[in-house]
Amino acid sequence: MLKADQNRGAVESGRKKPLVRLLATIGINLSLITAGSVLCAVSVNGILIPQNFISSGVTGMAILISYFFSGLSVSSIYLLLNIPLFLLGWLYVGKRFFIYSVVGLIIFTLALSIPIRPLLLQEPILSSLLAGIIFGGGSGCILRSYGSSGGTDILSIIMMKRFSVKLGTTVLAFNVILLGIAAVMISLESALYALIFLFVSSNILNLVVTGLSQRKSVLIISSKWKEISGEIMNSLNRGITVIHGEGGFSGKRENILYTIIAFQELSRLKDLVRKIDPLAFLVVSDTLEVMGKRIGNQPHW
């Protein structure tokens, strides 16, 4: 009887674990979306609108429209403009992303509707820099989750998944048209300040989403390749691929080591190689994406 009760308890415990894991995942994603939405709303309501600037993507379009239709709020315009983009997200991205993005859209719309005390700086250029840092950080937080807040986030993720185009690059290209419209309808000066904002926010976005988990590809040519290979596998716990090559001038056969490491491990790797063979030839390259269980850095979209 006691054994049966223990087995029943083990089964119930096993059932609870996936539920706890699911709730934890939902909580983390909602926290990222909420924190990112608040940051973006602070940038828009606290800096951009008081300075008569525009933001990026659909948010910038909503701000631009609100300047000429004062009866409409930025939040309501943003909500309406997102309907076709969410249809696109449903067709191309996936149900999980769509559901989280709907939640993100609601949270971001509510955040935009909350009045925020203006964060006015004496220099407009400093205001655009600060707004770009805050907005880029907020957008990055949102895109670190399983969803988005709508707008060009959806388009950026589609381009990233289909064509491996960096998120910030897509946003920056999309907003060239928006800047042109702003230069004509508001002022050239305002559009130039907005350009600074866009550049800063795009780079901060790339940093938050991929820069903090950047992977490096490394090629090593050394006569002591066996020792180096063994140390990398044992000390760094990273896999190694041995490529058989040949010197173009000498015709000598060489074994080339190829590995992928995290950015934080780069200095350790270089020290390791230098100690074993100071004459080793080492090439380090950036990676855009790495897919794999142990070393991958692809966002979970």
148: confidence class by pLDDT, cuts 50, 70, 90: confident
The stretch 163-188 carries a mean pLDDT of: 81
Counting residues of the chain whose pLDDT is more than 70, the rounded percentage is 89
| pLDDT at residue 268, as a whole number | 87
The stretch 138-142 carries a mean pLDDT of: 89
Q: What CATH architecture does domain 215-286 belong to?
A: 2-Layer Sandwich (3.30)
| pLDDT at residue 68, as a whole number | 87
| pLDDT at residue 290, as a whole number | 76
From edge to edge, which strands make up the β-sheet containing 281-286? 241-246, 253-262, 215-221, 281-286
How many beta carbons lie within 10 A of that of residue 27, not counting itself? 10
Q: What is the pLDDT of residues 239-279, one digit of tens each?
A: 899 999 988 888 888 899 999 988 778 888 999 999 999 99
The pTM for the full model equals: 0.73
| pLDDT at residue 297, as a whole number | 54
| pLDDT at residue 299, as a whole number | 53
